[in-house]
Structure 1
Amino acid sequence: MTSVQQPSTKDDILQFLLKSSQATAQKLAASLGVSPQAIRRHLKDLQAEGLVEHQVVQSGMGRPNYIYQLSAKGRDRFPSQYDQFAVSLLDTIAEDLGAEQVGALLRHQWQRKAQHYYATLGNGPLPERVQQLVALRQAEGYMSELHTGDDDDTYIITEYNCAISQVAESYPAVCGHELAMFAVALPDCQVERTHWLVRGENLCGYKIRKK
């Protein structure tokens, strides 16, 4: 019988920092229910592995605070379906056929994906459709979560990693495609971006409001 590997405290620390952007050892300890001493040992190991980095913030005359956050290597630990091969392939297409052909290819890709989303979600109640959309995104490698908005017809989808981050860095137009896909998948809704990893924020956020 194959045993299921349980998440470790180090994994919990990495996920917390992914969501919160940064935190002190005390905050991590309180949030994860682990002693500060144990948290500091784990943080030391994670820094040695290059997954976590810290900055020192002086507040008043007391001891300085150590603020921890994920390094670029730490972010790369989270699911990503597309790697440098996809970027290399697009670069090759651009060299051989031109940038316009790459743009047309990416547009065709998001249009197909948007139609897949729409066909999968159907025309049921909005709460069920947005929950299913989040499930689709999670299956694609996004750390996606659903939150309620200010009223019953508003929802917020947050994604703490980008499953196409390397593609997005080289071809940022795909980020606009993500927004357009949600709009096609939910044609009776207004979709707007609230946060953006590309802008240096710690997540991508989308507000979905029924028209």
Structure 2
Amino acid sequence: MLQKISSRQHQILEYLLESRNGLSVDELAKALDISRTGVQQHFVVLERDGYIRKSTLNKTAGRPVTIYVITDKGNNYFPKQYAWFSELILSDLQQEIGPERFNAYMQKLGSKLADKLRGKFEGKNLNERVDELAIVMTDLGFQVKVDMESETESPNMEAYNCIYHDLAQKHHEICAFDLALMSSLLDKEVEQLSCMAKGDCNCSFRVK
């Protein structure tokens, strides 16, 4: 998860994004009209959090100059818009293979991701698996809460956001991805009780 940065640090990343060969402290101090010390203080935070890194520029005359370049994490700080492209791919795929196979394909994708994460769940009981699943879902971008259903004593998981809400509204089959992922990792059948893409307040799941 990306850490929050200040408006000044955001400016620094913008300059470094435009200057992919990197900039020195003096160059940024001049561009931002602040002191070298001020720039260095921001650099300490940005470098610590992995947004920038040091590099060296060999000048023809004089000693080499330390410059700073933006990292992949710094580049990813700026928002990306993939929804339109994903919608194009999913719509074409659904047309090509039909609704039933499309739903099965979403299930297969969920199971494939579960296979990559399975090592974190091995040797754990159900409650520990549910807690681990909550961590996985949070890492994926969901805001989740886990509780125990009083009547059945079954674990419930509620997500208060949908990380692909616009896509799921057009392709409800995407929910099959979540169900396959959860069921595979918990080694239990998971039932979806509500869905934000269908107008509900949250997405809730019960472990059977």
Moved more, 129-138 or 191-200: 191-200
CA–CA distance in structure 2, aligned partners of residues 197 and 102 of structure 1: 20
- CA gap of 1:148–1:114, structure 2 versus 1, over 3 A, is same
Any stretches of 5+ residues in structure 1 without a counterpart?
7-78
CA contact (8 A) 1:196 1:202 kept: yes
CA–CA distance in structure 1, aligned partners of residues 80 and 193 of structure 2: 22
Q: 1:161-197, CA deviations, whole angstroms, 9 ceiling, x for partnerless residues?
A: 111212212221121332232122111x342222221
Q: 1:20-61, CA deviations, whole angstroms, 9 ceiling, x for partnerless residues?
A: xxxxxxxxxxxxxxxxxxxxxxxxxxxxxxxxxxxxxxxxxx
Any stretches of 5+ residues in structure 2 without a counterpart?
7-78
Identity rate, percent: 19
Larger radius of gyration: 2
* Cα RMSD (Å): 3.2
Moved more, 108-117 or 133-142: 108-117
The amino acid across from 1:162 in the alignment is C
CA contact (8 A) 1:81 1:164 kept: no
CA–CA distance in structure 1, aligned partners of residues 164 and 177 of structure 2: 12
CA–CA distance in structure 2, aligned partners of residues 82 and 126 of structure 1: 35
The amino acid across from 1:114 in the alignment is A
Matches within 5 A, 1:15-34: none
Q: Does 1:193 align with 2:202?
A: no
CA contact (8 A) 1:193 1:206 kept: yes
Matched residue SS, 2:192: strand
Number of residues of Structure 1 aligned to a counterpart in Structure 2: 133
Q: CA deviation at 1:152?
A: 9.2
Matches within 5 A, 1:100-179: 102-103=102-103, 105-150=105-150, 154-179=154-179
- CA gap of 1:106–1:195, structure 2 versus 1, over 3 A, is closer
Q: 1:9-29, CA deviations, whole angstroms, 9 ceiling, x for partnerless residues?
A: xxxxxxxxxxxxxxxxxxxxx
- CA gap of 1:136–1:4, structure 2 versus 1, over 3 A, is same
- CA gap of 1:193–1:83, structure 2 versus 1, over 3 A, is same
CA–CA distance in structure 1, aligned partners of residues 80 and 129 of structure 2: 24
Under a length normalisation based on structure 1, what TM-score does the superposition of the two structures give?
0.52
Matched residue SS, 1:146: strand
- Relative contact order: is structure 1 or structure 2 higher (C-alpha 8 Å, sep ≥ 6)? 1
CA contact (8 A) 1:149 1:155 kept: yes
Under a length normalisation based on structure 2, what TM-score does the superposition of the two structures give?
0.52
CA–CA distance in structure 2, aligned partners of residues 136 and 130 of structure 1: 10
